[in-house]
Amino acid sequence: MNALPGATPPAPPLAILLELTHRCPLACPYCSNPLRLVGMRQELATEDWLRVLDQAAELGILQVHFSGGEPSLRKDLPQLIAHARERGLYSNLITSGVALDRARLAALVEAGLDHVQLSIQDSEAEGADRIAHYRDSHRKKLAFAGWVSELGLPLTLNAVVHRHNAGRVPAMIELALELGAGRLEVAHTQYYGWGLKNRAALMPTRAQLDLATAAVQEARERLRGRLVIDYVTPDYYARRPKACMGGWAQRFLNVTPEGKVLPCHAAETIPGMRFDSVRERSLADIWQHSEAFLRYRGTDWMPAPCRGCERREIDWGGCRCQALALSGSADRVDPVCELSPDHEAVQQLAMREAAEPAPPFVYRSIKGA
Amino acid sequence: MSALAGSAVPRLLPGMRLRRDLVRDQWVLLAPERVIELDDIAYEVVSRIDGVRSVDALVDILAAEFDADRAQVAADVLDLLDDLVAKRVLGA
């Protein structure tokens, strides 16, 4: 599995996430886009994206996630979805739901869209609109969810959880049922980019976390076969790191609006790392040979104690961007792991921030933070 | 856990696609944000689900076709279907 030059090529990736644009009507303070957003004029052209879809199918990718920003702001979205379908790719639209009317959604379904993932910011309008920084966003999303079901597509709701809404996880679960969603992602905030900038404004207390976790566990049992709930636990209170992206460069690729190919959406935060572009190289070439993909693929790069750990091919050493954000170096042990010398400090940090009054949000903006 | 009744009629839920994965040379079920790899036996079961046949009928067909012990086939099929219902790939 270790991708040394000349070694066996890595297994092909399963999924690709295409950030078609960074433009978005919402301004959530935990947005996964980088602090420095790509402007419309730098975005890839339609023919570039069509070529990426061809190369993805040839490489063995099975699922394509159309994401952003708000991907429906791209006028060529129906064409891209139709092309994905022609190439046998399963297409998923990751959307805020506020920029599409029913007719335009119907056109995407007609083009071959397979599934919709709709973000919600809360279970109720006041909190949701405050997070999104967009008036009436919640009501628009509820209407949009109704159209998804009417048009016969499966629906996933994605709810990012933090100190301002963690108590309403049970209400989010009920909302998912009311809206006819088959899946719900309850995702504690990931602290990279905008989320890291707003960490003190978002960090929940341990008690909030425990209640949210209990609500998810109870609902999973009760709703078995009706609602699948994926739960992303909050790193800072965990004892073991997540297998970020299923392992660096193991299963997944991310393409930015300007065509850079990343092993994960936050990888650009790592200093000194060079990313190749779909404008210059093929996806297969990048997957196999790009410096950024080789850097942390497999286990050879690992420091002690990861290198000798029995979980090294389970969590793949956790998250490199998190190691960078919390220990100052992407090469170090992910401080979420209790075997990291930085682990204790991270838990203390989370508890300290959660205990303080929440500072105001720094909303996501094209002007940067 | 809720085992399926023999009379239940499983069906693929909207948004599920059964597809041959030529690169990995195997059958896969494509589901929302999930790829379920099917081994040969799972494929034989899933490919016969048509929204009309009951669990009992599926077991009969598979036991006859593969000349296998019906009780054993029934146990395997129920395990698989139950898992796919929990994952919301199948409704029943």
Question: Interface pTM (ipTM) of the complex?
Answer: 0.92
pLDDT at A7: 60
In three-state secondary structure terms, A138 is: helix
Mean residue pLDDT across chain B: 94
User: Mutate which of B11, B13, B33 to disrupt the A interface (most A C-beta within 10 Å)?
Assistant: B33
Can you tell me the distance from the alpha carbon of A339 to that of A326, in angstroms, rounded to the nearest whole number? 14
Task: Looking at the complex, report in whole angstroms how far the Cα of residue A33 sits from the nearest Cα belonging to chain B.
Answer: 20
Task: Looking at the complex, report in whole angstroms how far the Cα of residue A145 sits from the nearest Cα belonging to chain B.
Answer: 15
Q: Is the omega angle on the peptide bond into residue A305 within 30 degrees of 0, that is, cis?
A: yes
In a domain, B92, yes or no: no
| Per-residue pLDDT tens digits for A204-262 | 999 999 999 999 999 999 999 999 999 998 899 999 999 999 999 999 999 999 999 99
Chain B residues in contact with chain A using a Cβ-Cβ cutoff of 8 Å: 1-2, 13-15, 17, 19, 21, 23-24, 28, 30, 32-33, 35, 85-88
From chain B, pick out residues whose CB is under 8 angstroms from the CB of A152: 14
Contact B79, B85 (CB under 8 A): no
Can you tell me the distance from the alpha carbon of A172 to that of A85, in angstroms, rounded to the nearest whole number? 32
With CA atoms as reference, the chain B residue closest to A16 would be B33
b/e sequence B18-30, b meaning 16+ C-beta within 10 Å = beebeeeeebbbb
In a domain, B4, yes or no: no
pLDDT at A3: 46
In a domain, B73, yes or no: yes
CATH of the domain at B62: 1.10.10.1150
Can you tell me the distance from the alpha carbon of A78 to that of A152, in angstroms, rounded to the nearest whole number? 17
Give chain A's residues under pLDDT 70.
Answer: 1-7, 369
pLDDT at A9: 78
From chain B, pick out residues whose CB is under 8 angstroms from the CB of A156: 32-33
From chain A, pick out residues whose CB is under 8 angstroms from the CB of B23: 12, 59-60
In three-state secondary structure terms, A98 is: coil
Q: Is the omega angle on the peptide bond into residue A69 within 30 degrees of 0, that is, cis?
A: yes
Decide if A62 and B17 are in contact by the 8 Å CB cutoff: no
Decide if B30 and A62 are in contact by the 8 Å CB cutoff: yes
In a domain, B48, yes or no: yes
| Per-residue pLDDT tens digits for B57-86 | 999 999 999 999 999 999 999 999 999 999
Decide if A224 and B2 are in contact by the 8 Å CB cutoff: yes
E-only strand ranges, chain A: 15-19, 63-67, 90-95, 115-120, 155-161, 183-188, 228-232, 252-255, 261-262
With CA atoms as reference, the chain A residue closest to B4 would be A225
The pair phi, psi for residue A283, each rounded to 5°, is -60, -40
With CA atoms as reference, the chain A residue closest to B86 would be A225
* Residue A33 token pair: 């886009």
A95 CB within 8 Å of a chain B CB: no
Contact A46, A80 (CB under 8 A): yes
A269 CB within 8 Å of a chain B CB: no
A44 CB within 8 Å of a chain B CB: no
With CA atoms as reference, the chain B residue closest to A149 would be B14
Decide if B15 and A115 are in contact by the 8 Å CB cutoff: yes
In a domain, B81, yes or no: yes
Please indicate whether residue A6 or residue B17 has the higher confidence score (pLDDT). B17
| B19, B28, B87 ranked by CB distance to A228: nearest | B87
Decide if B15 and A156 are in contact by the 8 Å CB cutoff: no
pLDDT at A369: 64
A62 CB within 8 Å of a chain B CB: yes
Task: Work out the angle between the directed axes of helices A206-222 and A169-178 (0-180°, nearest 10).
Answer: 30
Domain of B27, in residue numbers: 11-87
CA-to-CA dists, residue A301 to A293, A306, A307, A331, angstroms:
12, 10, 8, 8
In a domain, B3, yes or no: no
Decide if A183 and B33 are in contact by the 8 Å CB cutoff: yes
Contact B78, B3 (CB under 8 A): yes
**Largest separation between any pair of C-alpha atoms in chain A:** 56
Total domain count, chain B: 1
In a domain, B5, yes or no: no
Decide if B32 and A225 are in contact by the 8 Å CB cutoff: no
In a domain, B2, yes or no: no
pTM of the prediction? 0.95
With CA atoms as reference, the chain A residue closest to B92 would be A225
Can you tell me the distance from the alpha carbon of B23 to that of A11, in angstroms, rounded to the nearest whole number? 10
